[in-house]
Amino acid sequence: MKILVGYNGGEVGRKALSAARDYAKLHQASLVYVLTSMEGGASEKQADIIKAQEGLTFARSFIEDAGITCDAQESVRGLSPGEDLVMFAQENDVDHIFLGLKKKSRAQKLILGSTSRHVILKASCPVTTVKFDLETLSDHEILKDRRILIVDDEPDIVETIEEILDMCTLDTAGDFDTAKNLLDEKTYDAAVLDIMGVQGYDILDITTRKEIPSLMLTAHALTPDNLKVSLEKGADAYVPKDELANIDEHMADVIKTRIAGKTGYGAWFSNLRPFFDKTFGQGWRDKDRSFWNSFDDKYGGG
């Protein structure tokens, strides 16, 4: 059996890959094609080409990590994506096509047409469409198949995180150098970083530069100053290790907030505000009132 995934990146693309991978494993498919169709010519920007190539690298790794042979390629032959996918499927004797569905306005559908509609009507094999709706996804669905880097020098903490985030693909590092090497070699959806003992802030500088959502998980560095520094350096959340049992909820919130295109913070601060008030004492934000006023104005943390 041969499977084709029409892939254009993003969360809907990831979900289509996931569905195709699971179907391939169930039916022992011999090959999964991943195709990104581009028009080519002067209309294609270099940034879009680079993004497409990076997306195909991710897609290939995603499928091959499951032990399935993958051929991920970019197609540039002047066809619409729908025409391209149908022709590719015919040329390569594809048995099943998977497509992700993006939300479009009614006007966009009327003017631009629908790639999925064209493929469904014209393809000579079954077509499965996959929708992505952020608001209806559970935490488990948000986290499923995410590649997350865990940096902590306490084995028991790492083991607990591995047990809770078992729906994710996890890499672990117990020191700065190992973490840096992993960040140089691989692409991550998120990171969980300790502060003390592993040069957590130095790692945060790297993850921030790479635009990797980062959750600071700490016990020994649990102070108002470290909370403020973490936020200033670009952390998406600052969570005490007392909350370790809820790490899945906090990580899902971080990822969901990023997917939604928000540059600030999700629900973690309002959820943990009572804990911070109790731990740090009354008026703990007064020392840096200007910073926290700005935080409240921007993210509603008051």
Q: What is the pLDDT of residues 97-128, one digit of tens each?
A: 999 887 655 654 554 458 888 999 999 999 99
- Quote the domain boundaries for residue 224: 139-299
Q: What's the average model confidence in pLDDT over 4-10?
A: 94
Tell me: do 147 and 69 sit in the same domain: no
Q: What's the average model confidence in pLDDT over 216-244?
A: 92
230 vs 223: CA distance, rounded Å? 11
pLDDT in tens, 155-195: 999 999 999 999 999 999 999 999 999 999 998 999 999 99
Choose the final residue of a domain: 77, 109, 132.
132
Spell out the alpha helix ranges (H) of the chain. 10-26, 46-64, 81-91, 106-112, 115-122, 139-143, 155-164, 176-185, 200-209, 224-232, 247-259, 268-280, 289-299
The better pLDDT of the pair 220, 13 is held by 13
pLDDT in tens, 127-159: 999 988 888 889 999 999 999 999 999 999 999
Choose the final residue of a domain: 132, 167, 185.
132
Tell me: do 258 and 175 sit in the same domain: yes
Structure tokens at 148: 């997350």
Tell me: do 124 and 39 sit in the same domain: yes
Q: Which amino acid is at 216?
A: M
Choose the final residue of a domain: 101, 132, 163.
132
Percent of the chain with pLDDT over 90: 72
CB-neighbour burial class of residue 86 (10 A; exposed 0-12, middle 13-18, buried 19+)? buried
Tell me: do 95 and 124 sit in the same domain: yes
- Which pLDDT value is given to residue 111? 43
Structure tokens at 17: 């890959």
Mean pLDDT of the residues in the chain: 90
Tell me: do 67 and 195 sit in the same domain: no
Is the pLDDT reported for residue 55 higher than 80?
yes
200 vs 210: CA distance, rounded Å? 15
What are φ and ψ of residue 124, in 5° steps? -95, 10
Task: For residue 233, give the 3-state DSSP assignment.
Answer: coil
- Which pLDDT value is given to residue 265? 67
- Which pLDDT value is given to residue 109? 54
- Which pLDDT value is given to residue 112? 45
17 vs 24: CA distance, rounded Å? 10
- Which pLDDT value is given to residue 161? 97
pTM: 0.83
Tell me: do 40 and 126 sit in the same domain: yes
What are φ and ψ of residue 190, in 5° steps? -170, 170
- Tokens 């990171």 correspond to 191
190 vs 236: CA distance, rounded Å? 10
Question: Other CB atoms closer than 10 Å to residue 194's CB: what's the count?
Answer: 24
Tell me: do 115 and 189 sit in the same domain: no
Tell me: do 175 and 285 sit in the same domain: yes
Tell me: do 167 and 249 sit in the same domain: yes
pLDDT in tens, 243-287: 999 999 999 999 998 888 875 566 788 889 999 999 999 899 999
Bridge partners (DSSP) listed for residue 130: 100
Number of separate domains in the chain = 2
Task: For residue 129, give the 3-state DSSP assignment.
Answer: strand
